[in-house]
Amino acid sequence: MPREYKTIKEVFGPLMLISNVKDVKYDELAEIELENGKCCRCKVLEIDDGNALVQLFENFAGINVQTSKVRFLGKSMHLGVSKEMLGRRFSGLGAPIDGGPNILPQQRIDINGVPINPVARNYPEEFIQTGISAIDGLNTLVRGQKLPIFSASGLPHAALAAQIAKQAKVRNSNEQFAVVFAAIGITFEEANFFVKSFEETGAISSTIMFVNLANDPVIERIATPRVAITAAEYLAFEENMHVLVILTDITNYADALREVSAARKEVPGRRGYPGYMYTDLASLYERAGRQKNKQGSLTMIPILTMPEEDKTHPVPDLTGYITEGQIVLSRELYQKGIVPCIDVLPSLSRLKDKGIGAGKTRADHSDTMNQIFSAYARGKHAKQLMMVLGESALDETDTLYVRFTNEFESRYISQDSTTNRSVEETLDIGWEILSILPRSELTRISDEFLDRFYKTKKE
C-alpha cells in the first residue's frame, strides 16, 4: 500500500509542492485524491530534500491544500495498449471516452518511450502514394518519415491531412494499415471533421483517436502526443502494422510546454519557450521510423499553425530542424482557389531521393522533379518582373516560363480534395507542362528521358 501524504504546501499554476515526502523518485507518477473521491494524476518534476514538486496532468480545480491526499505510485506514466484500441476514441490521457468498455491491455508501456539506437533503424525508402501531385511528384512521402504540415490559421490543413490519411497507400502491397490520430487542443469542429472523414471512408475501424479539445485541461496536452505515439509504436513494432500518426496541433503542445516552464520560473529561450524545447520535440518526432527486424513502420504527420505565418517562429523552426522536410501551405494559393494550397518551393521532403526512381516510381521522376522546381522558381521570378514592368518587358523565353507557372499551379498542384492521382498520372501532367518550355531550357533532364517523354509542340 503506497504511503499517502496530506502535506500539500503550495499549488501554483499547473504545479504543486508537497513536503515531507520519502522515497520519491524523479519522473514518478502520483495520484491526488480530492475530497469528493475524484482522482487526478501528476508527475514528479523535482525533489529537493523532502520536498517534491509535481506537475498536474488534469484539471486542478477542487484541490484543497488541507484535505487532498497524494499517493506516489512508484512508476512513471504507462499506457495499457492492445489491438482492441482500433476503432475507439480516448481522452488525451488514454481513458476511453466513447462509452465503450475499458481496454484489456496486452502490454503496459512507458509513454515517454526509449530512444531508438541509430544502428537499429532502417532507412525509410518505400514510396507512399498519397494521390496528391504536389506531394507525390515533388515532395515525396516515404514510410517511416516524419513530414509536418506547416499551416496557418484559416488554411485547410485538416482537409489535406484527412485526404492523405484516406488515400495513402504503398503500391503493390496489401499490408495492414492503421491511423493514430491525436487532437491536441483543437476545436470540437475540427476534431469532428476528422471523425466524419474517417467514418465516410470506413477508415474509422482502423483508427485510434486521442482527443484533447480546446476546453480540456491544457496540461493534459503534454501527455497527449506521447500517449498517441506509444499506441502507434505498439501497433507498428509489436503488431507489425503500418501506422500513420497525425498530430494536430503541435503549436498548442508547445504552448502547454511553455506554460509549465513559466510556472517553474525557468530561464526562457526564444519567445518565452523553454530552452529544452528542441530536445522535447525531438523526443516526440524521433519516435517515427522503421526498425530492423520489425515489419511495421511509423509515419508521422504533425500539423502546426505558424503564428503570423512566420516560419522562423520557434515552433516551426525547431520542428523543421528535426523532421525530414515540411509541407508548407500558402495563403496566396488558397486565395487563388487552388486546392491543396501547397507552396512547393519552401516545401521539402528530405527522404524523397531514396523513395523515387526506377522500380519505385518511374526512372524520370528525379530529373523532372528538379526541372519543375527550377522552372517554377524562374517563372515566379518572371511573373514578379511582369507585375512591375508589364508583359512587354519579358523576352520570349520568360513569357513561356510565365505560362508554365500558371499551368503548373492550375493543372499540377490543383486537384480536387477527392481526386486520387496515381504517380504516373502526376508525372505525365508534369511532362505536359514541361513541354511548354523549349527543349534547350530543360538542362536538368538527361537526354534519354527527353527523347522518351518530351512532346514537341505541333506547329
Partner 1 sequence: MFDIVRIGEKKIIGEIIEIHDELAFIQAYEETSGLGPGAIVESTGVPLSIELGPGLIGEIFDGIGRPLNTIMKKVGNNLEKGVDAVSLNRKKKWTFSPNVQISDIVSSGDVLGYVKETSSVIHKIMVPNGVSGTITEVKEGEFFVDETVIVLKDRSDNKIDIKIMHRWPVRVGRPFKEKLSPNTPMITGQRTIDTLFPIARGGVAAVPGPFGSGKTVVQHQLAKWVEADIVVYIGCGERGNEMTDVLNEFPSIVDPKTGKSLMERTVLIANTSDMPVAAREASIYTGITIAEYFRDMGYSVALMADSTSRWAEALREISGRLEEMPGEEGYPAYLGSRLSSFYERAGIVKIIGREDFSKIENRTGILTVIGAVSPPGGDISEPVSQATLRIVRVFWCLDSTLAYRRHFPALNWLASYSLYVDEFAYWYETNISSDWPILRNQMLELLVEEAKLEEIVKLVGVDALSGQDRIKLETAKSIREDFLHQNAFHKIDTFTSLKKQYFMMKLILEFYDNALLALKKGAEISKIISIGVRESISRFKYVRENAIDAVYNEVSRNIDHALSATFNEENQTYA
Note every long-range contact of 193-199, with CB atoms under 8 Å and residues 24 or more positions apart, other chains counting. 193/158, 193/159, 193/162, 194/158, 194/161, 194/162, 194/246, 195/89, 197/162, 197/165, 197/166, 198/162, 198/165
295 lines the binding site for partner 1 (CB under 8 A): no
Choice between 29 and 436, CB closer to partner 1: 29
Question: CB-based burial of residue 57 (10 Å sphere; 0-12 exposed, 13-18 middle, 19+ buried)?
Answer: buried
Is the separation of the CB atoms in 281 and 226 below 8 Å? no
Query: Among 131, 217, 302, 320, which residue interacts with partner 1 (rule: CB under 8 A)?
Result: 320
DSSP assignment of 157-215: HHHHHHHHHHH-EETT----EEEEEEEEEE-HHHHHHHHHHHHHHTGGGGEEEEEEETT
Query: Among 17, 63, 71, 76, which residue interacts with partner 1 (rule: CB under 8 A)?
Result: 76
Is the separation of the CB atoms in 412 and 133 below 8 Å? yes
Residue 117 main-chain phi, psi, to 5 deg? -65, 125
263 lines the binding site for partner 1 (CB under 8 A): no
Segment interacting with partner 1 (CB under 8 A) among 9-17, 192-200, 239-247, 308-316: 308-316
Query: Among 66, 102, 440, 456, which residue interacts with partner 1 (rule: CB under 8 A)?
Result: 440
Segment interacting with partner 1 (CB under 8 A) among 128-136, 175-183, 205-213, 270-278: 270-278
Site string for partner 1, 393-412 (x = CB under 8 A): x-x-----------------
388 lines the binding site for partner 1 (CB under 8 A): yes
Is the separation of the CB atoms in 352 and 139 below 8 Å? yes
7 lines the binding site for partner 1 (CB under 8 A): no
121 lines the binding site for partner 1 (CB under 8 A): yes
Within residues 177-206, the interface with partner 1 by CB under 8 A covers none
287 lines the binding site for partner 1 (CB under 8 A): yes
H-run or E-run covering 347: strand 342-349
379 lines the binding site for partner 1 (CB under 8 A): no
Choice between 92 and 144, CB closer to partner 1: 144
Choice between 24 and 257, CB closer to partner 1: 24
Segment interacting with partner 1 (CB under 8 A) among 60-68, 112-120, 166-174, 295-303: 112-120
Quote the CA–CA distance of 183 and 163 in Å, as a whole number: 17
Residue 212 main-chain phi, psi, to 5 deg? -120, 110
DSSP assignment of 293-304: T---EEEEEEEE
Within residues 15-74, the interface with partner 1 by CB under 8 A covers 23-28, 47, 49
Segment interacting with partner 1 (CB under 8 A) among 92-100, 202-210, 265-273, 450-458: 265-273
Segment interacting with partner 1 (CB under 8 A) among 198-206, 329-337, 438-446, 448-456: 438-446
Query: Among 170, 363, 385, 450, which residue interacts with partner 1 (rule: CB under 8 A)?
Result: 385
C-alpha cell at 273: 519557450
Is the separation of the CB atoms in 431 and 451 below 8 Å? no
Segment interacting with partner 1 (CB under 8 A) among 158-166, 183-191, 196-204, 340-348: 340-348
